[in-house]
């Protein structure tokens, strides 16, 4: 079998699939509060289309899938899609990234359909601050979603916390305590300039070295985890005596491009070789033609750059490619 290998020798076995660009929140680092234009439903890939793309990708060595959005749980019948994806030969792991608001009522059905794990976005443990960051929704619903995921066996549960300077950096110690006391993996994520590399992004960007400083100040004895499966972007740490762990996803201060193993499929049907750059290849013309779909995926390998240049953007330096103007919700987080 010919694998999906790019020009830099990176094997791609991971596909992130956005099923919608819509969301029931309006998190300030992801999309504007008002005026967001969403793709008409007829422009989105159908579940049949998604299954077809994954069947081809799996035949070329893709084994891991992640369902994203927008908020994936706002699209009806997601458990049916997951059931179909889990039956595709070669697919070994299916995960979901969600804000958790709707997870409480769907966790059991998703697990029964074949979902293995969930990542739940949680940027604050304070209800009022949650409303400020997410602009709508309730923290209570997210916590109910976390409990439902644990009860359904969707573990290990990972909590994704985007750190924002001057907004939630004072909660780092609380999140570390959460990871210390509970069997969860808290992942701190740097604020990325996806679709809006403006002064507001620069003013709220915080390098994740701050997390290690707080961990030391709080008295935790930390060490890198050496038993982590896969080659994902998280720099993982454990705390002596702790039940859970924490990770750092720092695409700007310490990018992880050299080990990148992923492609993205947008809800409206484009393969994105890299999250940051503008390059996209639309799959719609290849639907119904296995050979054409294979060639499109190989083409994605040919055009994938060696790395993104978010750090250069932060420093206002020249960049070698054109950054995307799509928001994270339009690409798939």
Per-position DSSP letters for 130-151, written without gaps between them: HHHHHSSS-HHHHHHHHHHHHH
64 part of a folded domain: yes
Asked if pLDDT for residue 209 goes beyond 80, the answer is yes
214 part of a folded domain: no
Structure confidence at residue 231 (pLDDT): 47
Structure confidence at residue 2 (pLDDT): 78
135 part of a folded domain: yes
168 part of a folded domain: no
pTM above 0.85, yes or no: yes
Structure confidence at residue 169 (pLDDT): 95
Both tokens of residue 55? 């069947």
Mean pLDDT of all residues in the chain? 89
Structure confidence at residue 195 (pLDDT): 56
Are 169 and 210 in contact, with CB atoms under 8 Å apart? Answer: yes
182 part of a folded domain: no
Structure confidence at residue 314 (pLDDT): 47
pLDDT over 90 for what percent of the chain? 69
Q: Helix or strand or coil: residue 325?
A: coil
Structure confidence at residue 328 (pLDDT): 66
pLDDT tens, position by position, 116-128: 999 999 999 999 9
Mean pLDDT for the stretch of residues 268-272: 94
pLDDT over 70 for what percent of the chain? 86
pLDDT tens, position by position, 63-81: 999 999 999 999 999 999 9
User: At 21, is the pLDDT very low, low, confident or very high (cuts 50, 70, 90)?
Assistant: very high
DSSP class per residue in 238-302 = EETT-SSEEEEE-TTTS--GGG--EEEE-TTSEEESSSSBS--EE-GGGTT-HHHHHHHHHHHHH
User: At 230, is the pLDDT very low, low, confident or very high (cuts 50, 70, 90)?
Assistant: very low
Asked if pLDDT for residue 133 goes beyond 60, the answer is yes
Asked if pLDDT for residue 51 goes beyond 50, the answer is yes
40 part of a folded domain: yes
Q: Domain residues for 131? A: 14-158+257-331
321 part of a folded domain: yes
Q: How many domains is the chain built from? A: 1
Dist. CA 160–CA 316, nearest whole Å: 27
222 part of a folded domain: no
CATH number at residue 141: 3.20.20.70
């Amino acid at each position: 079998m010919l694998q999906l290998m790019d020009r830099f020798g990176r094997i791609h076995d991971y596909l992130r699939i956005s099923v919608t660009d819509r969301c029931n929140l309006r998190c300030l680092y992801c999309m504007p509060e008002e005026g967001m234009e969403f793709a008409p439903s007829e422009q989105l890939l159908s579940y049949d289309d998604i299954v077809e793309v994954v069947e081809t990708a799996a035949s070329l060595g893709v084994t891991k899938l992640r369902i994203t959005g927008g908020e994936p749980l706002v699209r009806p019948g997601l458990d049916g899609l997951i059931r179909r994806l889990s039956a595709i030969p070669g697919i070994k792991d299916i995960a979901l990234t969600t804000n958790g608001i709707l997870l409480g009522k769907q966790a059991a059905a998703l697990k029964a359909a074949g979902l293995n794990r969930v990542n739940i976005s949680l940027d604050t443990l304070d209800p009022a601050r949650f409303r400020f960051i997410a602009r709508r929704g309730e923290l209570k619903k997210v916590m109910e979603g976390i409990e439902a995921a644990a009860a359904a066996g969707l573990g290990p549960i990972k909590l994704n916390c985007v750190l924002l300077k001057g907004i939630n950096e004072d909660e780092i110690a609380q999140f570390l305590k959460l990871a210390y006391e509970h069997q969860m993996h808290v992942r701190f994520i740097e604020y990325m300039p996806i679709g809006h590399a403006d002064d507001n992004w620069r003013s709220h960007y915080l390098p994740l070295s701050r997390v290690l400083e707080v961990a030391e100040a709080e008295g935790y004895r930390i060490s890198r985890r050496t038993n982590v499966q896969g080659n994902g972007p998280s720099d993982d740490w454990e705390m002596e005596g702790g039940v859970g762990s924490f990770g750092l996803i720092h695409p700007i201060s310490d990018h992880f491009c050299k080990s990148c193993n992923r492609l993205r499929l947008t809800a409206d049907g484009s393969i994105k070789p890299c999250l940051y750059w503008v390059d996209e290849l639309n799959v719609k013309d290849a639907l119904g033609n296995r050979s054409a779909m294979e060639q499109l995926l190989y083409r994605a390998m040919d055009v994938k750059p060696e790395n993104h240049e978010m750090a250069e953007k932060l420093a206002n330096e020249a960049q070698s490619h054109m950054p995307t103007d799509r928001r994270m919700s339009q690409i798939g987080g």
